[in-house]
Structure 1
Amino acid sequence: MIKQQSNWFTTWFNTPYYHILYKDRDYNEAGVFMTNITNYLNFPENANILDLACGRGRHSLYLSKLGYHVTGADLSEDSIAFAKKFENEQLQFKVHDMTMPFGKTFDGVFNLFTSFGYFDDEADNVKTLEAIKKNLNENGFAVMDFMNADVVIPNLIASETKVMDGIEFKIERYFENGFIYKDISFQHDKKDYNFTERVRAFNLGDFEEMFEKLDIYLLDVFGDYQLNKYYKNKSERLIMIFK
């Protein structure tokens, strides 16, 4: 059996199977969210935005189409290599560790689709927030789009099977020791594979505590991509605006 090594995201995100399993993500939804959030933040014309943990760049691409100068950054060399096919004067992609400052500042730093809380070492979550703060210019805003753990945990689908491109992915989900786990197993070309996604189930209170320690100011909280009010026990997402 071929099994990932620690950290899980450095291997799983760099496999073609990750992109096969998640190939049906909603690109229209991503576009609606980017339009709504940039209208709300009222960025200056030609603003510079960092899409941190951008994956293959679906949000970056929409942001650039809205007229912004966008840098997509991700640790996955495979994802960045794919995204670079879409580069132009307003859109660039870089391999980058989000726990480290980028080296320049931006009008906006976006961390989207629950791309936080992956680390084995809790200190790396703090380093990431510190880096986001350093990546912002004086008038900049950060946007973090995270799962609403208070809704996700009691509604976990414990077991399911998805067939994508002829591959049968068996998925098991569970909550343990503050983390949400997703075990993914499948067979391809007569080889068995197993990967496990693991995300810290931070809630709003956890973020507020971290923000206070880091002198980060939480400005607003939304509960979905239409920017409706956040409700702990029913909102789809936990979307935080801070600086």
Structure 2
Amino acid sequence: MASRSFKELSFVSIFFSTLATSYLFFPTVFANTHVISIISPLTLVVLDIQGDGFTAMEYVYSTVLFFATSIILFYVGITNFREERLFSEKPLTSRLADFVSAGVSRDHPHLSLFLLAGFTIPFVFMAQMLTLVLFFNIPMPLSLVLLTVSAAFIEEFAKSIGLYAVARERPGFLTPRNLLLAAVAIGSGFLVGEKLLLFATLAQITESIFGSVLFLSLQVLWMPLLLHITGVLITGGFLLLWGRQGYGPGLIAACTVHSLYNLHFLMGALL
């Protein structure tokens, strides 16, 4: 639906199939050695072949992110299955922005942004779990820094896509008042979504030092909420002042603040 040609279709298909394959196979390498392997359903296959079996909760750990992302993508596909979307000649990035903005109601934009932020959580966790596996064997100081920065970038990008898409489609929407309300809505939705999914599925992962890097900011509610709101305000502020050209620098600035926050808490926890 997002592709205008077979070339774009091939790129999108191969890119996402590579990500999905990596997510499935990389964690399996650590089967029987580290709890991180349980994020992949293939680990359950390995355990079953070995005769060890697995519990119902381990099945939930391994599959809930796939079910959640599939349901959300199915909903997005239904919402955008319209003629003006299917036959659009816009560039790929513009079409993807249109897909996101289609889910933001004109009558209740802040509620839509709240829900959209919550719906991004399964994708954020899948991306963060993939980076966790990729950096697992790198020496400890460097791996923690890389994981901290990548986790911050993934979260800030996910929180900003809804605001960016709306600002791109409706330039008059982004006012100081709407930016503040949108930041509160997105920050709250993101915090609620990650809390629910974290408590429901990823308790075992957070027990490891690498998992704590990803989720260390969830220990005190008001602090991550303030962090999420601040990140959206930074990115949105750049968009407000410099338009779409300010999105990249704003995202980098928000990622920097988020990374410094995580590193501050991480250094305190390790010391």
- So what's the TM-score if we normalise by structure 1? 0.32
- Greater per-residue helix proportion: 2
- So what's the TM-score if we normalise by structure 2? 0.29
- Greater per-residue strand proportion: 1
